[in-house]
C-alpha cells in the first residue's frame, strides 16, 4: 500500500523521514487554536503544558526512563553539543579528557575540536574496517581525568551498530566518566531502552523517526549534572531555556508512541529490505564493495561502493529517474571532502568517492527495493562504460 503520496522512490531515510500522517494530525491543533504558551497560567497555557508533558511521557516510555529525564531540544545537533560542551563546562574541575570515535556525526566531532581549542584533550578512537569501535581500545584510553565518553549507537552512513551496553559497563567500572550515545538513527529500528543499555545520556531527534524537523531530545539520567547551553527563562527544568516548541514536541511524542508499539515488526521489515537490496546488487553488479557490516546493521541501511563510478554522478542519475539516495563522495560536499566515516575504515578516498548510501524506511515497499536495483544496474553500467577506471579501480596504462 502506498502511504506516502509522492511520485518518487525515497530511499534516503537516514537523511530524514517524511512526517507520518498520524504525527501531523496530532500536531495541527497546536499550530492553530491550541497556541498557548505552556508557561502561562491561564487555561490555554495549562493545556499546552499538559500536551508537552504528555509527549514527554511518550518519549520516556519509548526510552524506558522517567519523564523527568527527557529534555526537549531543537535538534540532535543541539543535544550532542549540550552533552559535549555541557559536560566539559560542568566537570572541568574533575578533568579535561574526552573520548569519542572517528566516525561520530560532525556535530560531536566539531564540538570536540572546539573544546580542544579551549584546552581540553580529546581521544578519537579508531574503528576497524567494518566501522566497529573496540571496547578494549576504549578501556585502554580511559584515564583518571576522563569526564565523558561519547560513541554513537548506529552509524548514519555505514550502519554499524556499536556494542553500547558493553562500552557503558566498561566506562562505569573503570572511570568516573559519563557515557553518552548518539542514537538519532535508532528509534523504530533498534532497542533504545536506556536502562538496559546503561547509558548516562542519549540523543534522539524526531525527523529520523517520522516526526518534524527542528525538534530533538536528550535523555539525561537522574543525577547526571551538566551545564545548559541556553540560559534564560528556566524551561525544561532549567536545562534548556526558551519557550517550548509545543506543536513539534507534541508531534515528537506521537512519533515515539507509534515506535513504541511497533518497532520490532518494523525492524524485521527493514532488515529484509536492506538484505534484499544487497543480495540483488551482489547478484547483478560486479566489483562492488559493501561499507559497514552485512549483519547486523542499522535496519534499512545499505552502503555500497561501485568501483569506477563516482557517487555524485550516480546520485544525480538516479535522481533523474525519480530515486533519492545519498553518497559519501567528495564531489558532493561543499568542501570537496570525502566522507570521514568511510575514510576512517581505512579504504582510501576512492571507496568513499564511489559510495552510495541507500536507506529504506516505514513507507518503502519491497517493490521500491527492486526499482532501486534495476536503476542501479543500468546507470552503473552506463557510467562504467565512460569511466577512466578499470574494475580494480586503476586508471588506464
Partner 1 sequence: MYTKEVMEHFKNPRNMGDMEDPDAKSKVGNPACGDMMETYIKVGEKDGEKYIEDIKFKTFGCASAIATSSVTTELAMGKKLEEAEQIEKKDIAEELGGLPKIKMHCSNLSANGLHEAIYQYKKKERMEISEDLERKHEIAQKTLEKTEEMREKHGLDEE
Find the binder of partner 1 among 348, 366, 367, 381 (CB under 8 A): 348
* Coil vs helix vs strand at 305: strand
- Residue 41 as a binder of partner 1 (CB under 8 A): the answer is no
- Residue 324 as a binder of partner 1 (CB under 8 A): the answer is no
Count of residues engaged in binding partner 1, rule: CB under 8 A: 29
- Residue 394 as a binder of partner 1 (CB under 8 A): the answer is yes
Residues 195-234 that bind partner 1 (CB under 8 A): none
Contacts of 192 (CB under 8 A, 6+ apart): 62, 63, 153, 183, 186, 202, 204
- Binding to partner 1 by CB under 8 A, coded x per residue (else -) over 242-281, reads ----------------------------------------
**Minimum separation from the CB atom of position 389 to partner 1 (A):** 4
In contact, 143 and 176? CB cutoff 8 Å: no
Query: Phi/psi at 380 (nearest 5 deg)?
Result: -65, -45
Find the binder of partner 1 among 73, 332, 339, 355 (CB under 8 A): 332
How far apart are alpha carbons 316 and 379 in whole angstroms? 10
**Minimum separation from the CB atom of position 344 to partner 1 (A):** 12
**Minimum separation from the CB atom of position 351 to partner 1 (A):** 9
CA distances from 318 to 5, 9, 42, 176, 374 (A): 19, 10, 53, 49, 10
Find the binder of partner 1 among 47, 244, 266, 350 (CB under 8 A): 350
112 catalytic? Reply is no
Sign of the four-CA dihedral 209, 251, 256, 198:
positive
Question: DSSP string spanning 299-311?
Answer: TTEEEEEETT--H
The smaller minimum CB distance to partner 1, of residues 184 and 338, is found at 338
CA distances from 209 to 174, 325, 361 (A): 34, 18, 9
How far apart are alpha carbons 393 and 292 in whole angstroms? 20
Which residue shows C-alpha cell 526499482?
371
Quick one: which segment of 15-23, 151-159, 175-183, 306-314 binds partner 1 (CB under 8 A)? 306-314
Residues near partner 1 (CB under 8 A) are 308-310, 312-313, 316-317, 320, 329-332, 334, 336, 338, 348-350, 353, 385-389, 392-396
Q: Active-site positions?
A: 331
Amino acid at each position: 500500500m502506498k502511504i506516502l503520496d509522492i511520485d518518487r522512490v525515497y530511499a534516503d531515510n537516514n537523511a530524514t523521514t517524511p512526517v507520518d500522517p498520524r504525527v501531523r494530525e496530532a500536531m495541527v491543533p497546536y499550530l492553530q487554536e491550541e497556541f498557548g504558551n505552556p508557561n502561562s497560567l491561564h487555561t490555554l497555557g495549562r493545556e499546552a503544558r499538559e500536551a508537552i508533558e504528555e509527549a514527554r511521557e511518550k518519549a520516556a516510555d519509548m526510552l524506558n526512563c522517567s519523564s523527568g529525564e527527557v529534555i526537549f531540544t531543537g535538534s540532535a545537533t543541539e543535544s550532542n553539543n549540550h552533552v559535549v560542551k555541557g559536560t566539559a563546562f560542568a566537570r572541568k574541575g574533575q578533568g579535561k579528557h574526552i573520548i569519542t570515535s572517528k566516525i561520530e556525526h560532525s556535530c560531536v566531532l566539531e564540538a570536540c575540536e572546539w573544546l580542544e581549542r579551549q584546552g581540553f584533550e580529546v581521544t578519537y578512537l579508531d574503528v576497524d574496517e567494518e566501522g566497529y569501535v573496540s571496547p578494549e581500545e576504549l578501556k585502554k584510553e580511559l584515564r583518571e581525568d576522563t569526564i565523558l565518553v561519547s560513541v554513537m549507537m548506529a552509524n548514519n552512513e555505514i550502519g554499524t551498530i556499536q556494542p553500547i551496553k558493553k562500552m557503558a559497563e566498561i566506562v562505569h567500572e573503570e572511570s568516573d566518566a559519563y557515557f553518552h550515545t548518539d542514537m538519532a538513527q535508532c528509534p523504530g529500528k533498534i532497542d533504545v531502552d536506556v536502562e538496559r543499555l546503561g547509558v548516562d545520556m542519549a540523543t534522539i531527534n524526531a525527523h529520523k523517526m517520522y516526526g518534524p524537523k527542528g525538534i530533538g531530545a536528550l535523555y539525561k539520567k537522574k543525577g547526571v549534572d551538566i551545564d545548559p547551553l541556553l540560559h534564560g527563562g528556566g524551561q525544561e527544568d532549567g536545562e534548556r531555556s526558551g519557550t517550548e516548541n509545543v506543536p513539534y514536541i507534541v508531534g515528537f511524542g506521537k512519533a515515539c508512541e507509534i515506535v513504541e508499539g511497533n518497532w520490532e515488526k518494523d525492524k524485521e521489515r527493514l532488515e529484509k529490505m536492506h538484505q534484499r537490496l544487497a543480495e540483488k546488487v551482489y547478484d547483478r553488479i560486479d566489483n562492488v564493495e559493501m561499507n559497514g557490516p552485512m549483519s547486523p546493521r542499522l535496519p534499512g541501511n545499505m552502503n555500497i561502493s561501485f568501483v569506477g563510478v563516482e557517487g555524485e554522478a550516480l546520485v544525480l542519475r538516479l535522481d533523474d529517474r525519480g530515486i533519492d539516495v545519498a553518497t559519501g563522495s567528495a564531489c558532493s560536499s561543499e568542501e570537496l571532502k570525502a566522507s570521514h566515516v568511510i575514510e576512517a575504515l581505512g579504504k582510501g578516498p576512492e571507496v568513499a568517492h564511489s559510495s552510495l548510501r541507500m536507506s529504506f524506511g516505514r513507507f518503502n515497499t519491497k517493490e521500491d527495493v527492486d526499482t532501486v536495483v534495476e536503476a542501479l544496474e543500468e546507470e552503473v553500467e552506463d557510467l562504467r562504460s565512460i569511466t577512466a577506471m578499470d574494475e580494480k579501480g586503476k586508471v588506464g596504462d
